[in-house]
Amino acid sequence: MTNLSIGKYIILLLISLIFLFAVARPAAAFFCRNYNGNKICILSIKRSAKYHWEYRTEVSINDVRKPLEIYNCRTQEKIKKNGKIVKFTSNGAGELICSVLDK
């Protein structure tokens, strides 16, 4: 091998390493907590720009994934995917979301 071909391999290796570390890996979950005997994981969360006390959130409770719901920390209610409004359950995901994020 000549010095020119070795140089090409080194440059190719450096470019490959730069590309490998430049690509961001997706996160598995925002965070998980053991909250009064339940494993609650926030899978995705987005705070409302207009109503800063509302969060659009997907959670899993004890590894059961729930659909996207809107959690209203002001009224302590959540809006389900079908539009039904439900009060937070005691020691549930809504209380966790509001206590941790609404500070």
pLDDT in tens, 40-85: 898 988 988 898 899 999 999 898 999 999 999 999 999 998 999 9
Give me Rg for the CA atoms of the chain. 22
Confidence of residue 23 (pLDDT cuts 50, 70, 90): low
The span from the CA of 55 to the CA of 101, in Å, is 9
3-class DSSP state of 6 = helix
3-class DSSP state of 29 = coil
The span from the CA of 53 to the CA of 98, in Å, is 8
Confidence of residue 33 (pLDDT cuts 50, 70, 90): confident
pLDDT in tens, 82-101: 999 999 988 788 888 888 77
Confidence of residue 18 (pLDDT cuts 50, 70, 90): confident
Task: Give pairs for 63-71: CB < 8 Å, separation 24+.
Answer: 63/39, 66/93, 68/44, 71/97, 71/98
Confidence of residue 10 (pLDDT cuts 50, 70, 90): confident
pLDDT at 3 over 70: no
